[in-house]
């Protein structure tokens, strides 16, 4: 079933989006308790990339014998490769035993750097961006938020997802949001099923894109990334996706300064929208928006085939 | 019922249907058909109100039932805050008012009450309604009035996709536009849309 949520403060206003998104996703917990993910957009620093990556699945950490040693080795390999490529790591944080957050400065080809790091077995880059920080793990929103210390995260916009696994496994690899590899700051959350997944995936793979999971939602991230790469604007890419992707879906896309939503032509999946002069909130159910605006507000459901984009 | 041959006359079955129906053998003059045997005796002049902000879904629905049991015919629920499944399964005469918005499945499976909602409703409002009226001041989500068999359902704002899907009776009035598959599998009843059909 899955629940998705998005919020954006207009006009460059910042807020505690970490707590706001946690509350929204916690209100949607009943739509999917398997995993929770956040894509939070902070202000960032000029010239500094934020790297979020993991070196093991939570499941592996509980069951494997060698995994704890491997985690250390994998992390060391990431450090070595970053240094080899000439990236200047300015800060390192352990979010958990298996997930990390780095700040680095890098002037070279980002895609090559990312490919080189992901070539290490077991290492998956969750996001690279100037403002984007992507966090996903098993459990409900309150748990993940607590684990990764997201309350108090200040930024302009965010998207999030609570997952009920239907098409693929319960693990971090298949959890949303998806980062649109290898583009700075692009992420996607999706509620629905794509029916022409393999046709599109083969097409995108032939053009050199990589897929980390078998989850159909990842396709949307890669698809949007591909369109942006070809010089299309976000809104145009999303409008095209309505025709080119089959199935039932409602998805949200965020970039460094934009938030967009798209709904399939049958309008099969829910989305409730609240828009005021300073704020836009979207969620699968109104309860999520109400968790941060308890007062009476005017909301509506966007229609089938609609695409909307807002700027921070 | 005059000369109309019904399935009852033909001896196919003997049970009497309860509630209002469009089948011919229904006798409107029999007053017991208007209420369920277990319906509560309520007085419209006896009113009550309560704040639902910190209450759970079952708690709110049970509270409504308790108030009906004690004879309250007019109930106002404040701050429903878009919670799901509120005001469901009411098979009684009742004036019910929600001061705020309902989530999914609001006022589903009702037979008889007059409901007024000052906010909006989510998916599947008044699903399978048998009789009564539901008036919504703002917008409605998808599946508005799915499978209703009777009663009047009014949304003053816009409604989402699949309005009146599988409708088998009653009247749905929407003040603004409706989405894809409106009236899909509709078999009987009336639907009045004052805005656009957004599926075209």
Phi and psi at A226, nearest 5°, equal: -60, -45
Question: What's the structural domain count of chain B?
Answer: 1
pLDDT at B15 exceeding the cut of 70: no
Residue B198 placed within a domain? no
How much is the pLDDT for A292?
A: 94
pLDDT of residue B52: 96
State the residue for tokens 């409605």.
Answer: B140
Closest residue of A to B141, CA-based?
Answer: A301
Is the distance from CB of A255 to CB of A221 less than 8 angstroms? no
Residue B128 located in a structural domain: yes
User: Would residue B20 count as lying in a domain?
Assistant: no
Instruction: Give the confidence band of B2 by pLDDT, cuts at 50, 70, 90.
Output: very low
Closest by Cβ to B161, choosing from A296, A299, A304:
A304
pTM here? 0.90
Cα separation, A305 vs A144, in Å, equals 33
Q: Is residue B30 part of a domain?
A: no
- The whole-angstrom separation of Cα A299 and Cα A249 is 20
Residue B49 lies in a domain: yes
Q: Where residue B1 falls among pLDDT bands split at 50, 70, 90?
A: very low
- Determine, yes or no, domain membership for B31: no
Q: Which residue of A has its CA nearest to B98?
A: A296
Best mutation target among A263, A301, A302 (most B Cβ atoms within 10 Å) is: A301
Number of alpha carbons in the 13 Å side-chain half-sphere of residue A6: 31
What is the side-by-side order of every strand in the sheet holding A49-54? Answer: A88-94, A99-105, A49-54, A124-129
A300 and B119 in contact by Cβ < 8 A? no
**Is the pLDDT score of B31 beyond 90?**
no
Whether A168 has its CB under 8 Å from any CB of chain B: the answer is no
**Domain annotation covers residue B111:** yes
Pairwise CB contact (< 8 Å): A285 & B198? no
pLDDT for B102-158, tens place per residue? 999 999 999 999 999 999 999 999 999 999 999 999 999 999 999 999 999 999 999
Active-site positions of A? Answer: 2
Asked whether residue B24 carries a pLDDT value surpassing 60, the answer given is no
Residues A202, A161: contact at Cβ < 8 Å?
Answer: no
Nearest to B82 among A265, A290, A304 (CB): A290
- Chunked mean pLDDT (size 10), chain A, 312 residues: 94 94 96 94 91 92 87 95 94 92 93 92 92 94 95 96 86 90 88 94 91 88 90 95 95 95 94 95 96 92 95 92
In-domain check, residue B137: yes
pLDDT higher at B7 or A293: A293
Distance from CA of B76 to the nearest CA of A (A): 16
Per cent of chain B over pLDDT 90 is 78
Instruction: State whether ipTM is beyond 0.95.
Output: no
Give the domain range for residue B63.
42-193
């Amino acid at each position: 079933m899955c629940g998705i949520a998005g919020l954006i403060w207009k006009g460059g206003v910042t807020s505690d989006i970490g707590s706001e998104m946690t509350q929204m996703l916690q209100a949607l917990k009943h739509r999917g308790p398997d995993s929770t993910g956040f894509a939070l957009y902070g202000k960032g620093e000029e010239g500094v990339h934020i790297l979020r990556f993991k070196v093991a699945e939570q499941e592996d950490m509980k069951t494997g014998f060698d995994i704890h040693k491997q985690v250390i080795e994998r992390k060391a390999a990431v450090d070595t490769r970053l240094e080899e490529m000439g990236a200047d790591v300015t800060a390192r944080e352990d979010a958990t035993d298996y997930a990390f957050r780095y700040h680095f400065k890098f002037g070279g080809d980002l895609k090559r750097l990312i490919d080189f790091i992901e070539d290490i077995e077991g290492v998956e880059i969750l996001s690279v961006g100037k403002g984007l920080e992507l966090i996903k793990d098993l459990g409900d929103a309150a748990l993940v938020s607590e684990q990764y210390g997201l309350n108090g995260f200040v930024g302009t916009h965010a998207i999030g997802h609570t997952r009920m696994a239907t098409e693929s496994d319960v693990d971090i690899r298949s959890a949303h949001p998806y980062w649109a590899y290898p583009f700075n700051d692009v992420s996607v959350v999706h509620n629905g099923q794509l029916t022409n997944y393999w046709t599109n995936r083969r097409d995108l793979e032939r053009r050199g894109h990589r897929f980390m999971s078998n989850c159909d939602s990842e396709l949307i991230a890669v698809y949007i990334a591909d369109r942006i790469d070809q010089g299309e604007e976000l809104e145009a890419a999303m409008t095209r996706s309505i025709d080119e992707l089959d199935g039932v879906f409602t998805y949200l896309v965020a970039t460094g300064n934009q938030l967009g939503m798209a709904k399939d032509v049958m309008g099969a999946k829910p989305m409730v929208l609240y828009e005021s002069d300073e704020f836009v909130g979207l969620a699968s159910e109104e309860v999520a928006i109400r968790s941060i605006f308890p007062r009476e507000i005017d909301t509506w459901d966007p229609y089938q085939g609609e695409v909307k984009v807002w700027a921070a | 019922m005059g000369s109309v041959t019904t399935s009852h006359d033909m001896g196919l079955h003997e049970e009497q249907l309860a509630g209002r129906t469009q089948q011919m053998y229904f006798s409107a003059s029999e007053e017991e058909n208007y209420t369920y045997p277990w319906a509560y005796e309520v007085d419209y002049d006896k009113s009550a109100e309560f704040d639902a902000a910190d209450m759970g879904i079952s708690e709110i629905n049970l509270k409504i039932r308790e108030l009906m049991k004690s004879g309250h015919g007019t109930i106002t629920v404040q701050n429903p805050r878009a919670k799901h499944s509120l005001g469901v399964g009411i098979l009684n005469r009742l004036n019910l008012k929600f001061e705020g918005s309902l989530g999914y499945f609001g006022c589903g499976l009702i037979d008889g009450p007059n409901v007024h909602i000052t906010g909006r409703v989510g998916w599947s409002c008044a699903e399978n309604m048998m009789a009564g009226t539901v008036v919504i001041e703002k917008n409605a989500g998808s599946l508005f009035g799915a499978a209703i068999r009777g009663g009047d359902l009014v949304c003053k704002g816009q409604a989402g996709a699949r309005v009146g899907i599988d409708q088998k009776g009653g009247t749905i009035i929407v003040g603004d536009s409706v989405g894809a598959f409106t009236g899909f599998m509709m078999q009987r009843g009336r639907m009045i849309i004052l805005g656009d059909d957004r599926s075209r």
